Structure 1
Amino acid sequence: MSAKILVLYYSSYGHIETMAAGVADGARQAGANVTIKRVPELVPLSVAQEAGYKLEQPAPIAAVEELPDYDAIIFGSPTRYGMMAAQMKNFIDQTGGIWFENRLVGKVGAVFTSTGSQHGGQESTILNFHTVLLHLGMIVVGLPYSFQGLNQMDEPGGGSPYGASTLSGGDDSRFPSPVEVEGARFQGRHVAEIAGRLVSAG
């Protein structure tokens, strides 16, 4: 049986949006039924426009109530001081009713991220995001070293055993490299394979 997977993201400048497409592509390669959605923007429109946010994004806005409909949720958020963005946290903080009813217990959860610099909080963002997923009762999946891109040393790049990631640069001009997108694709495929086995086991 194919798993139903939600790729749920927040993206200010398009880096996480690009990675989300890679994650979804990998999950589809594993036969999953994939939906891509995003969380609402919280920044006032005038501020977002002045900051150059990518305001036009094709993914529809997700609803908290739909989360239990999926077998796996792969979350994407940029780093904000080593933590997930407020937009994503605000969305997750609305899951109290779902948490109370244990409706995400046993679902697969994974995280990918983006930072402005090589050591800008990629790992801490994903790890503290994992804490939230564990509170929700989800089964946390990372990016294993069977993805050979984690061992590449010839250029700066994101990616860790905790999840796929990319570097945007201080001015956000750098977009995900081929190896970073492949890491996202690998993680999506990996999550889909695990979720598929859980669905089949019933």
Structure 2
Amino acid sequence: MTKTLILYYSTYGHIEAMAEAIAEGVRSVPGSEVVIKRVPELMPEDVAKQAGAKLDQSAPIATVEELPDYDAIIIGTPTRYGRMAAQMANFLDQTGGLWFQDALVGKVGSVFTSTASQHGGQETTLMSTIVNLMHFGMTIVGLPYTEKRLVKIDEVSGGTPYGASTIANGDGSRMPSEDELEIAKSQGRHVAEVAGQLARGRTQ
């Protein structure tokens, strides 16, 4: 049995919806267990409410100390000017002790994101988040082109070889499309398959 953590931050619910889809993909792989958790909100509650943030998310808050308990960690964060959100950066900035102990070396790492526009920093956010995981010594797993929705051009859609993504619109009104959710499921399934293969290799 391999255990995957989907660790996310979501302001308006887009990344939350993608996390659920990725979890569905993980669960589709026999011998795979998945846990969805989120990082703490940094905005004061009154400010978050004024901004229209979705505060009723059911995922529990993660702790830094639990990260080594998982075989794979899939990080989801919306983009902020082409980089990860401050909430996720703040959480990862607290992992120095784990880095010093090599506690995440060899574990599978993967990422997904959301932007307001088609070219609003999806790939830079994904790649810069991957850099964090490489410093941990994690085995990076992207989203291969065996997922053929990545090359569709008949509708507006997120999805990159670096990880799943969605486009939220400037006012946040567009939730993940069916194609984007299916791409997210494919990523979850692929990560779980790779984590399982690595786990089996370690026991042989």
Q: Take 2:125 and 2:2, find their aligned partners in 1: how far apart are those partners?
A: 26
CA distance in 1, matches of 2:37, 2:137: 22
AA at the equivalent of 1:84: M
1:7-65 Cα offsets, whole Å, 9 max, x none, are 00000000000000000000010121100000000011111000000001000000000
**Percent identity of paired positions between Structure 1 and Structure 2:** 62
Q: Which residue of 2 aligns with 1:73?
A: 73
Corresponding position: 1:37 with 2:32: no
Structure 1 counterpart of 2:149: 149
* Distance in 1, Cα, partners of 2:47 & 2:58: 21
What are the residue-to-residue correspondences of 1:30-179 with 2, within 5 Å? 30-31=29-30, 32-179=32-179
Secondary structure in 1 matching 2:119: coil
Match for residue 27 of structure 1?
26
Counterpart in 1 of 2:199? 199
Partner SS state of residue 91, structure 1? helix
The structural deviation recorded for 1:3 is 1.2
Other structure's SS at 1:37 match: strand
Deviations 1:65-115 (A, max 9, x none): 000000000000000000000000100010000000000000000000000
Distance 1:10 1:21 in 2: 13
Q: Deviations over 1:132-176 (max 9, x none)?
A: 100010011111100011011111110110000000001000000
Which letter maps to 1:20? A
Where structure 2 has 5 or more consecutive residues not aligned to the other structure, the ranges are: none
- Aligned partners of 2:50, 2:175: CA distance in 1, in Å? 20
Measured in 1, the distance between the counterparts of 2:191 and 2:146 equals 13
Counterpart CA distance in 2 for 1:170 and 1:188 is: 27
Residue ranges of structure 1 left out of the alignment (5+ in a row): none
> For 1:114-133, what per-residue CA distance to the aligned partner results, in whole angstroms no more than 9, with x for missing partners?
00000000000000011110
Q: Answer yes or no: is 1:183 the counterpart of 2:197.
A: no
Q: What TM-score do the two structures reach when normalised by structure 1?
A: 0.99
Code of the residue aligned with 2:155 in structure 1: it is E
RMSD (Å) for aligned C-alpha atoms: 0.5
How many residues align structurally? 201
